[in-house]
Amino acid sequence: MTSRNRLDLEPDTVERDLVKLVLTVVELLRQLMERQAVRRFDTGELTEDQEERIGLTLMLLEERMAELRDRYGLRPEDLNLDLGPLGPLLPRQ
């Protein structure tokens, strides 16, 4: 194997990059869940108790995401992947 084909990986970088990828997927799912919840709120198909539980769950998930981003020195925009001609993976805030 030539040196050009070698990967020089640092444990700290690998961990942060893996966390970044996982958090990106979780953030995408969180945003999709939030949009679905808003649609369900708008249609009136949820009880008040269900709306409260969903709202609390999404709020706690967002707080936990912020804690994990802070722990690994990531900003919300760091979790957005550029998909080239398709644009960003996540909508820009």
pLDDT in tens, 22-74: 999 998 898 889 999 999 999 998 999 999 999 999 999 999 999 999 999 99
Q: What pLDDT, in 10s, does the model give residues 1-12?
A: 444 444 456 777
> What is the rounded CA–CA span in Å between residue 88 and residue 20?
15
In terms of Cβ atoms closer than 10 Å to its own Cβ (0-12, 13-18, 19+), residue 59 is: exposed
Q: At what angle do helices 11-43 and 48-71 cross, to 10 degrees?
A: 160
The pLDDT score that the predictor gives to residue 77 is: 86
Angle at the Cα of 26 from the Cα atoms of 29 and 48, rounded to 5 degrees: 50
User: Full-prediction pTM beyond 0.85?
Assistant: no
The pLDDT score that the predictor gives to residue 7 is: 46
SS3 91: coil
The pLDDT score that the predictor gives to residue 60 is: 95
